[in-house]
Amino acid sequence: MAMSSSAISRASALRDLVYLDLSPDDIAIRDLAREIVDKEIAPIARRIDEDEEFPRTALHTLGSTGLIGLLVPEQYGGSGGTMLQYCLVLEEIASACGATAATYMTQVHGMLPLLQVGSETQKERWLPASALGDRVMSIALTEPSAGSDLASIRTRAKRVDGGYLINGSKIFITNGNESDIMSVFVRTSDERHKGMTILLVESSAPGLSFGKPLEKMGIRGSDTAEIFFSNVFVPDEQRIGQEGEGFKVVMGALGDARISTAAQACGLGRGAWARAYEYALRREQFGQRIFEFQAIQLRLMTMLSKVTSAQVLLYQVARMIDQGTRPEYSIESAMAKSYCSDLAMEVTTGCVDVLGGYGYTREYEVERFMRDAKVTQIYDGTNDVNRLVMARQLERRRLAGTETPSSSTA
């Protein structure tokens, strides 16, 4: 007999089996996230996956409790938290619902260019409502013919009196159809890297249109859009940073976005593992709980070690960013992203195996974690592209003589 799927819950006892050193402030933020996840996110995770329903209410709650604004300074309506706290919240959300995690982190990604190079006026105007989740944000970089090779984007912004006219299209834009405002990466000249700029575009702008939402394997409750620009006017005040500075800003934003994906991946691995462990403790075969079989114990403990090693790497990189000792952390963020997402895929697949045939059914939800985990290997740069970023950057550090952490933090 299989047990009821409702017995596979997010029992709190399963959350902190392994000790990971966190401060009282970090624990308080994480516990706030847990409370919201338990009340509002976990109960509807299966439904929003099946119905492809955008988690708008959860986004509002995460905003009104200050959890969206963790990376936003208080003077712009944020809650002034740390990268580690943001990762803990994201991991917590993903341990119940990968789609809500994708929606939440994209809201944050949409604000990154503003946070990095926005003017005071722009920050005051756009950040508060976004930090509260009242205004949905997205970041539009990818195009049908420019994915890994972002420097080849074709969407063009032509200078006109008082601003720019955008023509072109974007694809795979998370939150896109639901967005009020998006950070759009456009070409303002033919120079490959120095010809790009970021413009803030309101979804109500005339000339903007949307394709049918893309149907996906996983994170189905998150929205993924195709967006078309036909003579969309954007005033000068909505250019983020200098003209030609876009590529540099996007590379910086991607560094942080990769940390987000790593946190999402850790949460998915942990969520699937907790369900598999609880199942193994209750499911009986050959007259005993399957957890008594050494094969199941070995499998579960190996997976627990993998999830924990991913968390340790993620927290270490997040702490390093918070300490500000490394102004440039592309190797570390690419490493965390590719390592945590590969482990999430491996662990969620292994968890399906622990549940046997029931793991393959929708009822037990472990298959949802496996489907959701796949995208963490793809977005924010495929894992192969992330490993290429690491190799290139390592070579730069070696040639600059800054390959050891001690030499760059001294």
Ligand X SMILES: Cc1cc2nc3c(=O)[nH]c(=O)nc-3n(C[C@H](O)[C@H](O)[C@H](O)COP(=O)(O)OP(=O)(O)OC[C@H]3O[C@@H](n4cnc5c(N)ncnc54)[C@H](O)[C@@H]3O)c2cc1C
Among 9, 57, 119, 148, binds ligand X (CB under 6 A): 148
In whole angstroms, how close is the CB of 133 to ligand X at the nearest point?
Answer: 17
User: Considering only 35-43, 190-198, 302-310, 374-382, which stretch makes contact with ligand X by CB under 6 A?
Assistant: 374-382
SS3 194: coil
| Contact (CB, 8 A) for 201 and 234 | yes
C-alpha dihedral sign at 141, 147, 151, 154: negative
Question: Distance between CA atoms of 383 and 20, rounded to whole angstroms?
Answer: 26
Q: Which residues contact 391 (CB under 8 A, 6 or more apart)?
A: none
Nearer to ligand X, 320 or 334 (CB): 334
Nearer to ligand X, 132 or 219 (CB): 219
Of 172 and 273, which CB lies nearer to ligand X in the complex structure? 172
> What token pair was written down for 404?
């050891």
363 within 8 A of 334, measured Cβ to Cβ? no
Residues 153/141, Cβ–Cβ less than 8 Å? yes
Should residue 393 be labelled a site residue for ligand X when binding is judged by CB under 6 A? Answer: no
379 near ligand X, judged by CB under 6 A:
yes
169 in contact with ligand X (CB under 6 A): no
The closest alpha carbon to 338, from 310, 306, 304, 368, belongs to 310
- 76 touches ligand X by CB under 6 A: no
- How many Å separate Cα 106 from the centre of its chain? 6
Among 126, 164, 172, 279, binds ligand X (CB under 6 A): 172
**Is residue 151 a contact residue for ligand X (CB under 6 A)?**
no
- Judged by CB under 6 A, the stretch of 200-208, 343-351, 353-361, 373-381 that binds ligand X is 373-381
Q: Is residue 104 a contact point for ligand X (CB under 6 A)?
A: no
Q: Which residues of 97-116 are buried (b: 16+ CB within 10 A; e: fewer)?
A: bbbbbbbbbbbbbbbbbbbb
**Of 55-63, 171-179, 239-247, 312-320: span binding ligand X (CB under 6 A):** 171-179
N-term to C-term CA, the chain:
61
Of the listed pieces 39-47, 305-313, 324-332, 378-386, which binds ligand X according to CB under 6 A?
Answer: 378-386
Out of 80, 128, 147, 163, which residue is the one contacting ligand X (CB under 6 A)? 147
251 binds ligand X (CB under 6 A): no
Binding site residues, ligand X, CB under 6 A: 106, 138-142, 147-148, 172-174, 216, 219, 224, 375, 378-382, 384-385, 388
